[in-house]
């Protein structure tokens, strides 16, 4: 499978993350992060049972994996409950822009060409139109002021995921199955923090269903195919394709919340798809 297809598959799964995270916002963030990441690691368990080398990675690589998976999702879930979800989504989706712009800084041998920068800015404009276009009539302005500090963890999550995605190319090569180890260790760490820092919570049957969907989808399979895409493709191009995520995520939020489709979403689609095409053509 081509890296473009793999990246698009991961993007489709990640488009569900904001809606699932919002639906589970009543759960303590460490508990939500821990359970979802452990569930997401389950598909790789049979691999390590057959071959222990599937999870054999240097400590530095494991630390990077925990940094990426645990740090990104914990900060994102914090942001979704302390800032208006749609606006927090916008700030979080600065990570594709960070990924394109930081690639020449964090990876040797890459340069940022004018077409990359133009595509990144065009894609960010599309993401802004898609997400900010949902604010009309929602009364989000007042809550945005009250939850202003919640945008800081959203910004942090964006930087963490962009830097993690790029730094995976600087550590010793590791099998994609090791993503399961990253998720398991991150999940156990998060549950330990829950036991120490958060009040116990009771989960309903619906909560467990949403957790399983979240774990096996955007916090599970998406990581594995994203890693394969990064190993096979150009991170600058993949970063541009990532702008499709806020479009899909916003469309799903519109469906879940019952908001109507507006002209701003159509404009956002045009801008984002144009950015994706422009970015994939850049050499």
In a domain, residue 62? The reply is: yes
In a domain, residue 162? The reply is: yes
Cβ(29)–Cβ(78) under 8 Å?
Answer: yes
In a domain, residue 189? The reply is: yes
- Provide the token pair at 57: 């990675």
pTM of the entire predicted model: 0.77
The answer to whether residue 134 scores a pLDDT higher than 60 is no
In a domain, residue 122? The reply is: yes
- Count of positions (residues) in the chain: 283
Tens-digit pLDDT profile for residues 101-114: 788 888 777 777 78
The count of structural domains within the chain is 1
Cβ(190)–Cβ(33) under 8 Å?
Answer: yes
In a domain, residue 141? The reply is: no
The answer to whether residue 116 scores a pLDDT higher than 80 is no
In a domain, residue 142? The reply is: no
In a domain, residue 9? The reply is: yes
Report the pLDDT averaged over residues 86-98: 77
In a domain, residue 161? The reply is: yes
* Angle in degrees, CA 54, 107, 283, rounded to 5: 105
Tens-digit pLDDT profile for residues 191-210: 999 999 888 899 999 999 99
The answer to whether residue 274 scores a pLDDT higher than 90 is no
Give the domain extent around 272: 3-135+147-281
Tens-digit pLDDT profile for residues 20-50: 988 898 899 899 999 999 999 998 888 888 8
């Amino acid at each position: 499978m081509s890296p473009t297809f793999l990246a698009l598959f991961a993007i489709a799964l990640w488009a569900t993350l904001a809606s699932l995270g919002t639906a589970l916002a009543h759960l303590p963030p460490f508990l939500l992060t821990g359970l979802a990441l452990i569930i997401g690691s389950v598909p790789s368990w049979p691999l390590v049972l057959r071959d222990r080398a599937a999870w054999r990675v240097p400590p530095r690589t494991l630390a990077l994996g925990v940094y990426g998976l645990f740090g990104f999702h914990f900060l994102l879930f914090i942001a979704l409950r302390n800032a208006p979800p749609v606006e927090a989504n916008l700030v979080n989706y600065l990570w594709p822009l960070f990924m394109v712009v930081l690639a020449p800084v964090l990876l040797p041998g890459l340069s940022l060409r004018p077409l990359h920068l133009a595509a990144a800015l065009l894609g960010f404009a599309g993401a802004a139109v898609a997400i900010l276009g949902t604010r009309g009539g929602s009364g989000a302005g007042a809550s945005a002021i009250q939850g202003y500090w919640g945008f800081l963890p959203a910004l942090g999550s964006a930087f963490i995921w962009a830097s993690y995605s790029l730094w995976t190319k600087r550590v010793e090569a590791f099998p994609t199955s090791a993503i399961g180890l990253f998720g398991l260790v991150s999940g156990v760490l998060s549950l330990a923090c829950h036991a120490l820092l958060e009040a116990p919570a009771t989960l309903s049957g619906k909560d467990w269903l949403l957790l399983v969907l979240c774990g096996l989808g955007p916090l599970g399979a998406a990581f594995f195919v994203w890693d394969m895409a990064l190993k096979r493709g150009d991170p600058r191009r993949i970063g541009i394709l990532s702008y499709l995520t806020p479009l899909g995520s916003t469309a799903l939020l519109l469906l879940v919340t019952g908001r109507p489709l507006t002209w701003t979403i159509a404009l956002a689609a045009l801008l984002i798809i144009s950015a994706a095409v422009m970015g994939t053509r850049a050499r």
